[in-house]
Amino acid sequence: MILLRREGLNCSISAVGRILHKLKERGVLQEPVSNHISARKRQWQRPYAVRKPRGYVAKEPGDMVEMDTLDVRPLPEVILKHFTARDIICRWYVLKVHIRVSSRTASGFIDILLERMSFPIKAIQVDGGSEFQDAF
């Protein structure tokens, strides 16, 4: 439309659309071959997280530990991150509060979790979702 107006031609958007459509139908106007780089990446499995099998049932302590984070706001300007880990069989909890959530604080929390649990951890379920990580 802008190019047509610069040339002194005045027509509506719908008229331009009808003209382009008719030219495409007759084969006069052909779409260019798409040669763009797609932003969509290949879907590949993450090596560090495995989807929980459908029938997986935790039978003993350490088979499945759920981890979650929560924002705690004790004052209007203060935001703390509350890490929680819970074994679903024996209901053993490990809690820790940090100023921020980062990969460093999360890995530090997992280290604390491994120290405080009195049994070996086999799988960690994150945020109560359907993915879990093989612990060791």
Which is nearest to 86 in space by CA: 58, 49, 105, 108? 58
The C-alpha atoms of residue 31 and residue 40 are separated, in whole angstroms, by 22
pLDDT digits (tens, 9 = 90+) for 1-54: 778 888 888 888 898 889 889 998 998 888 777 766 656 666 776 666 677 777
pLDDT digits (tens, 9 = 90+) for 59-100: 999 888 998 888 899 888 889 999 999 999 998 899 999 988
Per-position DSSP letters for 7-66, written without gaps between them = TT----HHHHHHHHHHHHHHTSS-PPPP-PPPSPPP----TT-EEPPTT----STTS-EE
pTM for the structure as a whole: 0.55
Domain boundaries, given as residue ranges, for the chain: 1-30, 50-134
pLDDT confidence tier of residue 136, bands split at 50, 70 and 90 = very low
Q: Does domain 50-134 have CATH number 3.20.20.140?
A: no
